[in-house]
């Protein structure tokens, strides 16, 4: 038998919708009903973490409430939104699929989320992990604070500190309009994924913070990273092995170690890197600018090709253009087995604090080939004289060369 009270409620809600939003019927605020009905018409269901046990007091670990709200959205039908709005503390959060819901799920972080700073609390190498799902967008304008200053002393060696936000094994996902502060490890990471868009991020950590890359990519295909401000203690963007068809554009980088391809050649399972375009970026006060780095030891044989750095502004950058195939192996005789070819440095201008702003240090076993330098115009800060350096590279020089470009050096 139908519940009479439920029937009455449905009648009241129906009357509210028909009569509009400027009245109250039997204690029901029609304006709120009308707004909810419009939301339903848009097809989006809201899953507020506060309805799943979150306290938002900045002291209680609300990770479980986040996960419960996600599971509800993941199992729902139609577009869904997980709302995180308030001051939260959270330990490890895993948003895992695959989801029964094949529509877009938005994770809207409107407030501030702070990490629990006990490294042993993170079993997946990530603080917030989104995995094995598709059509997820993380956004909201909120702040994700890793409080890395409490754990950076443990960085290095075999200790891997958790990444603040990871996309792993996802497709057709977005990350945008978020603020990241003081990650324990990397700030963000996209791995084993395809068709991912990242834009409008602000990422901040001290220049002294260890291994706090702004965004790291590995084994990702069809990724666009645009219009973000990144300043950390490591690479603003690092593009590791296995990446294909990646565009990085409109990045303001500094402080940090620049925008890097690599490091490559450290592990046996690594695969080729190809089709990487980095353009329209500005780097200020970084230790490196446009960099490709591979380990200079007996490494797996792989290729890095189809790489473009174009329309890059350097402001007081130490090493504006650098290929370093002896990364982390200075003084050792081994040569990298990573083959670098079809690389284009085009329209790179600005200032440098280094006497050698263009350095191509390639593998003697697998020399670099087709390294184009076109319209390079770098001025010294102060009265230092500039020159280029080259080892084991076939170069192609076009247009302006300031300093004088390195001739082929094989």
Other Cβ atoms less than 10 A from the Cβ of 75: the count is 11
| Cα–Cα distance, 200 to 349 (Å, whole number) | 25
Spatial neighbors of 317 by CB under 8 A, at least 6 apart, are 258, 283, 284, 285, 286, 287, 288, 289, 350, 351, 352, 353, 354, 357
Tokens 């770098």, residue? 378
Q: Are 261 and 291 in contact (CB under 8 A)?
A: yes
* Residue 204: its H or E element: strand 188-204
* Residue 237: its H or E element: strand 237-239
Q: Which residues are catalytic?
A: 257
Spatial neighbors of 355 by CB under 8 A, at least 6 apart, are 380, 384, 385, 386, 387
DSSP 287: S
Residue 356 backbone phi and psi in degrees, to 5: -125, 80
Beta pairing class for 105-109 and 93-96: unpaired
Token reading at 3: 């519940």
Q: Are 224 and 239 in contact (CB under 8 A)?
A: no
* Among candidate residues 112, 105, 231, the one with its CA nearest the CA of residue 171: 105
Beta strand ranges found along 302-365 (DSSP E): 302-317, 319-327, 338-352, 358-361
């Amino acid at each position: 038998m139908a519940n009479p009270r439920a029937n009455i409620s449905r009648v009241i809600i129906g009357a509210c919708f028909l009569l509009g939003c400027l009245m109250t019927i039997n204690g029901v605020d029609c304006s709120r009903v009308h707004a909810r009905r419009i939301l339903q018409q848009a097809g989006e269901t809201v899953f507020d973490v506060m309805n799943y046990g979150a306290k938002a007091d900045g002291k209680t670990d609300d990770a479980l409430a986040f996960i419960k709200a996600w599971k509800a959205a993941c199992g729902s039908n139609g577009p869904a939104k997980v709302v995180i709005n308030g001051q939260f503390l959270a330990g490890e959060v895993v948003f895992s699929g695959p989801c029964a819901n094949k529509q877009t799920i938005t994770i809207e972080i409107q407030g501030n989320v702070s990490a629990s700073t006990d490294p042993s609390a993170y079993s997946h190498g990530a603080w917030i992990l989104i995995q094995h799902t598709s059509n997820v967008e993380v956004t909201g304008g909120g702040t994700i604070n890793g409080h890395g200053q409490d754990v950076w002393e443990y960085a290095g060696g075999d200790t891997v500190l958790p990444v603040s936000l990871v996309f792993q094994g996802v497709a057709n996902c977005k990350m945008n309009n978020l603020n990241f502060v003081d990650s324990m490890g990397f700030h963000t990471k996209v791995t084993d994924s395809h068709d991912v868009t990242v834009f409008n991020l602000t990422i901040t950590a001290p220049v002294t913070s260890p291994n706090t890359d702004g965004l790291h990519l590995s084994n990702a295909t069809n990724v666009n990273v645009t219009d973000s401000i990144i300043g950390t203690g490591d690479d603003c963007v690092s593009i590791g092995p296995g990446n294909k068809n990646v565009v990085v554009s409109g990045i303001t980088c500094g402080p940090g170690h620049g925008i890097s391809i690599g490091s490559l050649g450290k592990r046996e399972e690594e695969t080729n890197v190809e089709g990487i375009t980095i353009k329209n970026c500005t780097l200020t006060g970084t230790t490196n600018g446009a960099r490709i780095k591979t380990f200079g030891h007996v490494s797996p044989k792989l290729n890095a090709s189809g790489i473009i750095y174009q329309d890059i502004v350097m402001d007081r950058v130490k090493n504006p253009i650098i290929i370093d195939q002896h990364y982390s192996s200075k003084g050792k005789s081994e040569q990298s087995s990573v083959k670098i070819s079809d690389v284009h440095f085009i329209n790179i201008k600005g200032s440098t604090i280094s006497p050698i702003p263009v350095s191509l240090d390639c593998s003697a076993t697998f020399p670099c080939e087709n390294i184009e330098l076109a319209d390079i115009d770098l001025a010294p800060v102060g009265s230092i004289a500039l020159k280029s350096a080259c080892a084991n590279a076939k170069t192609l020089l076009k247009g302006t060369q300031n300093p004088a470009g390195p001739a082929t050096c094989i």
